[in-house]
Amino acid sequence: MGYPALTVTGGWVWIVLQVGTETQVMQIDPSTLAVQAQRFLPATDDSSFPPVPVLTATVGGPLWVADGDHLWSLNPSTGVVENEVGAGNEIDSMSTDPTGELLYTGGQAPGQDGMVVTEYDARTGQELVRSYQRGAIAGGTVAATNGGVWVSYRTGMAGPALELSSRDLSIIVNPSRPNGLGPFDQMMGVGSGVSDGVLWLTALNSLACTDPGSGVLRATEPAEVSDPVAGGGNLYALSAAGEVVIITPPPACFVSR
């Protein structure tokens, strides 16, 4: 059994988990965290390492689930599979932009060094553009925002987070790191995700919130969580034990409130 990933859409919290040769998709009540329903998708990856399924919500569109080198779009209210797309590379992370028009994936391509970032039409799954981050030693994470996508990956024992343009996936924001390690460059890399108008950055023992357009830091606090996603006034995340938890971030994270 692998590690879970989660998102919030259609009035539900959704979790995917690798169970044997299948991907388990669980539909969870956002208040009680009780499992409402579950669905199993067949594994399609034939690599030597077990794939780790990931998922992302689309504003006004489908719930996207990836396992290995395949993508599925699901109805966000019922979990019914609506479409399937072959990606041609291992997928480690996914994110959709605030308009619901673009889907991004991050992962590794066969025979290529570094991390491959791919931009899709979030409604149809049609590939639009892709790029390679040559300094990466493995696939990283993607977090879409208006006009771009934040990409984080490891270059060794540490790794940075930077923003690529939605037009051609060129670098548009690369936060300076005058004092070495910080929210945008951490040991073992940085996890990134955008939800509720906030760019969330996670490291081994910290949670930071920043402006998703400029990368300006809003607040940081100690936390051992991953995959944070805001929805309905709550911030959901996965604990170090892989359990779904509800946490309260610093008020400064939501500058408009």
For the stretch 200-223, pLDDT in tens is 888 777 888 888 888 888 988 888
Residues in the chain: 257
Q: How high is the pLDDT of residue 119?
A: 97
Contact between 95 and 34 under an 8 Å Cβ cutoff? The reply is no
62 or 45: which carries more pLDDT confidence?
A: 62
- Residues 132, 137, 140, 145, CA torsion sign: negative
For residue 2, pLDDT over 50 is answered with no
pLDDT tens digits along 105-151:
998 877 767 889 999 999 999 999 999 888 787 768 898 988 899 88
Instruction: Please state which of the ranges 144-148, 157-161, 201-205, 235-239 shows the lowest mean pLDDT.
Output: 157-161
Asked whether 55 and 63 are in contact (CB, 8 A), the reply is yes
Query: Mean per-residue pLDDT for 158-166?
Result: 83
Domains of the chain: 5-253 (2.130.10.10)
Give the residues across from 16 on adjacent strands: 5, 25
Using an 8 Å Cβ cutoff, are 158 and 188 in contact?
yes
pTM of the model: 0.78
What's at 121, amino acid-wise? Answer: D
Which DSSP category does 252 fall into?
G
Q: Bigger pLDDT: 48 or 92? A: 92
CA distances from 182 to 25, 113, 139, 195, 250 (A): 34, 26, 21, 21, 18
Residue 236 CB-half CA count within 13 A: 24
144 is written with which tokens?
């879409």
